Amino acid sequence: MLSKLFFGYFAVIMVALSLLVITRRNPVHSVLWMLVLFFHIAGLYLFLNAEFLAAVQVILYAGAILVLFLFVIMMLNIKVEITAERFIGEWPIGVALGLSILMLIYFTTSKLIQGPAGQFSIEAIKAETHTKALGKVLYTEYLFPFEIASLILLIAIVGAIVLAKKRG
């Protein structure tokens, strides 16, 4: 019962925060609401026994990505932003589309048949600690995607410099 109450709190707050993110006029406010949202998502991860991911969520999303957003907003002209029109003219169509897609997802996933259970039960992860268990899988079974991820980060560095460097 208590866990359901906790989930209820998280769900209501997270939906409200997401709505705030996409409706605010001032992008700085959006980023700040998003920050609160990311902390809640990290809380939800703790709830799902994913401690390491909760930490990564806070460090990477809240600590790095959102700060990047804030930096860029500071470079842009916020005064124009605040006076400009927020939504496209056809926004009711967009909302209706969204609602119908939500209904579609609801009806199709409500009959979801779960796949077979794997070997990482809560007890098994607890015995090994979450970070260690995740690390073992990541550096053995998932070594190859891990290497590709490093290439993607390299591209990001190169790309950011190529695109945003001062004209020389």
Q: Which of residues 48-107 bind other proteins (CB under 8 A)?
A: 48-50, 52-53, 56-57, 60-61, 64-65, 68-69, 71-73, 75-77, 80-81, 84-88, 90-91, 94-95, 97-99, 101-102, 104-107
- Which of these, 3, 5, 7, lies nearest to 44 by C-alpha position? 7
> Which 3-32 positions form the footprint of other proteins (CB under 8 A)?
3-4, 7, 10-11, 14-15, 18-19, 21-22, 24, 27, 30-31
CB of 105 to other proteins, least distance (A): 4
**Residues 168 and 161: beta-carbon distance below 8 Å:** no
Which residues ranging from 130 to 149 are in contact with other proteins (CB under 8 A)?
A: 133-134, 136-138, 140-145, 148-149
Q: How far apart are CA 147 and CA 139, in angstroms?
A: 10
Q: Between residues 3 and 127, which has the closer beta carbon with respect to other proteins?
A: 3
Residue from 35, 62, 116, 132 binding other proteins (CB under 8 A)? 116
Instruction: Go through 22-53 and write b for each residue having 16 or more CB atoms within 10 A of its CB, e for each that does not.
Output: eebeebeebbbbbbbbbbbbbbbbeeeebbbb
Q: How far is CA 57 from CA 20, 43, 52, 62, 66, in A?
A: 20, 10, 9, 7, 11
Number of residues that bind other proteins (CB under 8 A): 106
